[in-house]
Structure 1
């Protein structure tokens, strides 16, 4: 009879052990990550199907994890004139219209957005129970690097993220060394773009120009990001060159119409003989991922009118082995 209580205790212990182990299996792998909003985002497991809503986030994400982690790709990822990941994403499902239904159909483990994203869409996706993780819509190089940290945290690839940032810093150090060695007055450039209110003080472009060792004529002319180009700003800037971002195919007609209209004005037409025209692919002007370092180099070459940075393979700044 004395053995019966001991047997009951043993059975009870085994039952509790089984119950505990079952509880662990339902939450195994669960973790949380703090996003750019400072919000803690909970995930049931390490994400294997990640969807973002923009080119710069897809580019940044692919420096941290391979393409097999993407549930889909932004439609402009495949445009080589604008994207550094056209080859990597060529087999992925492209998304042009982001609706709650389209996002749900791709079954992402997490939807990655930025403060440039549609807040109403974000709200609806969260209401569907899909975790939403915020990054920056970067206006500084520091925010690009922070996006790497955030996505590395989200994917539990912190060591990989640190390697990506180290690669960026090596590129930036090289750029600083080369541009600091240039003698004389820094060239002044004015951006001509369909995004006619982009590029003034406070924009990412403004910092990329400064890091490239030349002067952004928009900010020199007193324009802040979001303000339209004006004749007064051009007169104040006294530019050495116009930087014209070459369009990708679907935008070609719009760009040509814009330039024709711009130089139809006698004031702007009068500048053609004294101000250089420098054309450069969109991806070097607008990129907001770690590959923006390539844009700094290309824009610097055009600003100085000579090769400061020879052509090189423009590979993704991955922190992992292929």
Structure 2
């Protein structure tokens, strides 16, 4: 249901309450840093990334998450008892940063309507890249569905955390998570700035599909915060492009990051590393010559939650071990 279908009386009441809350909020937050561009809130009403106005009469107590990153965000915001289900990937330590904590939530599901409807949740959190048909089907049942914008940068991840925190009624917890991210990013920046310009490293992230994560990807932003050059972006690749072998040679990276996790589970990752290291066409590449093929947790590099900061730590430590120490 869009905002234009809300009854006039509800709109009038909502506006009055909203103005009162806005005055109180402005007075209480004067002088404090804020995450910009948050959805407006009005007496239990939340506008999601699609423009849909969601009304929640109280803090949701049966929340369903349909993305691994919202699994991680929710576990940082609410008690496990308020989560009706996480995704099936929450238990996979190869890609989940909360596999241990996730044991406190008994139900793990896939993103399909039948699994969600069976739980009768009072809030479903789903990303804007998931099938519109699924979103529509869930909304047609009458259950509250909040669609958030899939982040492509660390700044957008902070915004997503604060938006979700507002919807679940845990603004303070959201602010705490963002503040912790900012503190660690500042610590990394302080160490990385000591690295001389002539020692800046060029890095390629190599997946089972080849080199990837060009301009506009979260990995590109990880590289920026870690003070390294993203080789894929330097080669002119966009977020979903693949790096060819010829481009890899031209980029001539100092370090190649290798995967530790394969979604399909069909790739021999050790064999992949050996084949890359021994490829005759790549023997002139600095990372190959110097045996700088290094694996870091995929869960840190591909997440769009607060744990992305761990990815920044990983890349910075790999690139500048003499300058960057443990957090």
TM-score (norm 2): 0.79
Q: Which segment drifts farther, 207-216 or 64-73?
A: 64-73
The match for 1:298 is 314
C-alpha deviation, 1:95, in angstroms? 3.2
The match for 1:55 is 68
SS at match of 1:151: helix
Q: Equivalent of 1:284, from 294, 300, 313?
A: 300
Q: Equivalent of 2:201, from 176, 187, 193?
A: 187
After TM superposition, the structure 1 = structure 2 runs for residues 130-279 of structure 1, keeping only pairs within 5 Å, are 130-183=143-196, 184-196=198-210, 198-247=212-261, 251=265, 253-256=267-270, 258-259=272-273, 262=276, 265-268=279-282, 271=285, 272-274=288-290, 276-279=292-295
Contact 1:284 1:299 in 2 (8 A): no
Contact 2:90 2:108 in 1 (8 A): no
2:91 is the alignment partner of 1:75: no
SS at match of 1:71: strand
- For residues 186-216 of structure 1, give each alpha carbon's deviation from its aligned partner in whole angstroms, at most 9, with x where no partner exists: 1011111025474111100000011001111
Name the CA distance, whole Å, in 1 between partners of 2:122 and 2:59.
8
Contact 1:222 1:233 in 2 (8 A): no
- For residues 50-109 of structure 1, give each alpha carbon's deviation from its aligned partner in whole angstroms, at most 9, with x where no partner exists: 111111011112222121111111111112232221111114234343221110111211
Name the CA distance, whole Å, in 2 between partners of 1:195 and 1:248.
10
Name the CA distance, whole Å, in 2 between partners of 1:278 and 1:259.
9
Give the paired residue count.
282
SS at match of 1:89: helix
Name the CA distance, whole Å, in 2 between partners of 1:64 and 1:36.
20
Name the CA distance, whole Å, in 2 between partners of 1:107 and 1:93.
15
C-alpha deviation, 1:152, in angstroms? 1.2
Contact 2:91 2:100 in 1 (8 A): yes
Q: Relative contact order (alpha carbons < 8 A, sep ≥ 6): 1 or 2 greater?
A: 1
Q: Which runs of 5+ in 1 are unaligned?
A: 1-29, 313-322
Sort the Cα spacing of 1:40 and 1:196 in 2 relative to 1 into closer, same or farther, 3 A. Answer: farther
C-alpha deviation, 1:250, in angstroms? 7.0
SS at match of 2:257: strand
Contact 1:239 1:275 in 2 (8 A): no
Name the CA distance, whole Å, in 1 between partners of 2:278 and 2:105.
43
**Alpha carbon RMSD of aligned pairs, Å?**
2.3
Larger Rg: 1
- For residues 134-190 of structure 1, give each alpha carbon's deviation from its aligned partner in whole angstroms, at most 9, with x where no partner exists: 112111111111111111110122222222211111111111111111123310111
Contact 1:79 1:248 in 2 (8 A): no
SS at match of 2:124: strand
Q: Which segment drifts farther, 300-309 or 97-106?
A: 300-309
